[in-house]
Structure 1
Amino acid sequence: MINKHAKIPIYYQLENLIRTQIERGEFLAGDALPSERVYAETYNISRMTVRQAINNLAIEGLIVRQKGKGTFVAEKKFQQALQGLTGFSEDMFARGLQPSNKTIHLEEIKPTPMIAAKLMIDLNEPILMIKRIRLADQAPISLETIYTPTKIVDKATFSNINVSFYQYVEQQLGLTIAHATQEIESSLATKYEQKYLTLKKGDPVLSMRRTTYLSDGMPFEYVMSAYRADKYIFTLQMPRNLE
């Protein structure tokens, strides 16, 4: 409860109280929280104090405020650690979720100079471009575009793959995936991303660009992805470098 005589600020006590209620399941994702007035009257505190606690929880991403409707518990975000290289399907299975894909475009093309450089191939070497939605329990999580040489997989073969792309490369082609380089930045969803990720204008996404390499040092894919920022969070362990 709220202790007005404690050294801990009242807004922070209320913030922790609401956070604990959500973590215990007293409020579930999508549930409406009591209004600022109800919190103020219940704990005999000012609405300004309540507003500060609510704002902090909104910044944290634990709750969302909808103008004219109220404050609601946010959907829990998927967390992906950046310590190792795993595929989307592997991540979802590890969380007990059912991954699936919806291919929206599949075409064999000639690479642009940028894509050719990323894949270390000649400009005349054909590649496969795959645009697909990645889903978890049928909910859209990310929109990705994959570029890979057709010597790895062609259009007909990809259409018949019934495992993850990484599993196909490792198990059916017998190749070893070694490592990847990845860039992540925040941006606003484009109209294309809004359409397929069920987002609105102004909604943020986490944009990712990744080049993945085989054990011989050759890249086999270049991927550009947009993840729903309200559903995904990347985490990174950062040991202190004392050198």
Structure 2
Amino acid sequence: MKLNNSISTPLYDQIKQSIMDAIDKGTYKQGEKLPNETEFCEFYGVSRITVRRAILELGEEGFLERKQGKGTFVTRKKIERELVSVDGFTDFSKYLGKTPSKRILVCEEIKATSKIAETLKIAIDSPVLRLVRLMYINEVPFTLDEAHYSLERFPRLTEHFLESASTYEAIKKVYNVNLNTCSSHKTITVTPATGLEAEYLTCEIGDTLFNIEKIVFDENKIPIHTSNFKTRTELIALTITT
């Protein structure tokens, strides 16, 4: 790979960005050993000093870890997520300066079970949208999310959210719900990844996942939706501001 010598960005910074892009795209995965300095020198066409500086700075920033006698490994700095925030995934990703995307796995109308009905404060068997999505940050699988919305409160929600960048955007614009005044209740546990979860989140079966159950309420304390999302514990640090 040829670096650009005609721009003001130092070569070691270009190498840092190249390695970070590879980590974000999954070319270098969590826990994976990186090529050695000699291989990087040949790949980028630079000196060992330049490569070493890039590796050292990425290590200081928490993205890489040097293990004596073994090599350099990807650690991936955790993304901090504020627990009390009710921002949607799209807004959260853009706030971090990263590119969000999503893959819809399930989008179906079901009848409310007793648990869903109690949570959403609706009648049992009333129509509910069940939405299961795999959320990505910079093309890397980040969260597996299952949400439920009352279709009596939000009729034709399916077609509206498909036309919007995010579900929250559709709810705000189409149904005039003021999300700035919303609140939420979260229950957080840690669970082992099932086979299907491991496949979607590119981890091993049994790896620990944050399991976060959330209910979002409007300004009148009426539930907007329920959500259950899972993410790998090594990718995120959950924070609380008091």
The match for 1:207 is 211
The match for 1:3 is none
Give SS of 2:170's match.
helix
> Root-mean-square deviation (CA), in Å?
2.8
The match for 1:49 is none
TM-score, normalised via structure 1 length:
0.68
Residue by residue over 1:101-146, the C-alpha shift from the partner in whole angstroms, topping out at 9 and shown as x without a partner, is 1001111000111111100100021100001001111111000101
- Do the aligned partners of residues 134 and 182 (structure 1) sit closer, same or farther apart at CA in structure 2, a change above 3 Å counting? same
* Counterpart AA for 2:144: L
Indicate yes or no: 2:136 matched with 1:132. Answer: no
Q: CA separation in 2, counterparts of 1:153 and 1:194?
A: 34
Give SS of 2:234's match.
coil
The match for 2:156 is 154
Indicate yes or no: 2:199 matched with 1:195. Answer: yes
* Counterpart AA for 2:91: E
Q: CA separation in 2, counterparts of 1:62 and 1:97?
A: 16
The 8 Å contact of residues 107 and 155 in structure 1, kept in 2 or not, is answered as no
* Counterpart AA for 1:194: A
The match for 1:95 is 96
Percent of aligned pairs with the same residue? 23
Give SS of 1:144's match.
strand
TM-score, normalised via structure 2 length:
0.68
Q: Shift of residue 203 of structure 1? A: 1.1
Q: CA separation in 1, counterparts of 2:219 and 2:150?
A: 16
The 8 Å contact of residues 33 and 72 in structure 1, kept in 2 or not, is answered as no
**Structure 1 unaligned runs (5+)?**
1-24, 35-56, 239-243
**Structure 2 unaligned runs (5+)?**
1-15, 37-58
Indicate yes or no: 2:73 matched with 1:72. Answer: yes
Structure whose CA Rg is larger = 1
The match for 1:112 is 113
The match for 1:123 is 124
- Do the aligned partners of residues 62 and 186 (structure 1) sit closer, same or farther apart at CA in structure 2, a change above 3 Å counting? farther
Residue by residue over 1:211-234, the C-alpha shift from the partner in whole angstroms, topping out at 9 and shown as x without a partner, is 011122210100010012121111
